[in-house]
Amino acid sequence: MSKSQHNIPTPAVRRLSLYLRQLDAILANDQKTVSSRQLGESLGMTDAQVRKDLAHFGQFGHPGIGYRVDELIARIRCILGTDRPWNILLVGAGNLGRALASYRGFAHKGFHLVAVFDSDPGIVAQTIRGDTPLVVQPMSEMARIVKKMDARLAVMAVPADAAQEVADQIRAAGVQGILNFAPIAIQPNDCAIASVDLTVHLEQLTFQIAGGDTA
């Protein structure tokens, strides 16, 4: 308590997720302890970077030893808020939405898909397979379900031209964070937004390969 929220650098938070992912792999490998150097190198960064990032949140290491893997995992989960499960909604049950619904990685990390919505009446009432089968519901049900399930996050997989309006509806239903897959900038109305735009990522690659110079 108390000292938290002393504005943590955004890049440090992103790396925290990467550390956690790597630590899971290290733990699965039966390694009990890890140094900042080893953890950093496996992710292409320096040892100092790792230590500085963690230092924003407290002192988790053991001088001369390194970090106990299981302990650090628990600490980072707590920092990120994933030491507790999260109920999430899926909004948009098209191709991409259905693929996301059946993605097993979410549940593994404590993200539980509890409801699916779509505005298309032709899709509503269809059954979607996730970790448990779910029936697609109309948008009008969202606010009720959000309250009932205490869902604070939504994954939004809708066409670009509908995205801002749908995002506003999601926010109005009480959801606090949206993972957006539409290739458009969402205006966050007092809502946390994370966006994944596939073409943006592809363009980063084309720039590296062909951009800058015509090599």
Partner DNA sequence: TAGTGTGAATGGATTCACAGCC
Partner DNA sequence: GGCTGTGAATCCATTCACACTA
CA distance linking residue 56 with residue 161, whole number of Å:
40
| Residue 133 interacts with a copy of itself (CB under 8 A): yes or no | no
How many residues line the site for DNA (CB under 7 A)? 27
Residue of the chain from 26, 36, 111, 151 that contacts a copy of itself (CB under 8 A): 111
Residue 64 belongs to what H/E stretch?
A: none
Binding letters toward a copy of itself, positions 141-160, x by CB under 8 A: -----------xx-------
Q: Which stretch binds DNA (CB under 7 A): 16-24, 49-57, 132-140, 186-194?
A: 49-57
The one-letter amino acid at 37: R
Site residues for DNA, 52-81, by CB under 7 A, read 52-55, 59-67
DSSP string for residues in 149-194: HT--EEEE---HHHHHHHHHHHHHTT--EEEE-SSSPPP-SSSEEE
Site residues for DNA, 126-155, by CB under 7 A, read none
The 8 Å CB, 24+ separation contacts for 185-193 are 191/167, 193/167
Site residues for DNA, 24-43, by CB under 7 A, read 34-37
Min CB(39)–DNA separation in Å:
7
Enter the tokens of residue 170. 């999601």
**64 vs 121, which CB is nearer to DNA?**
64
| End-to-end Cα distance, the chain | 53
| Residue 201 interacts with a copy of itself (CB under 8 A): yes or no | yes
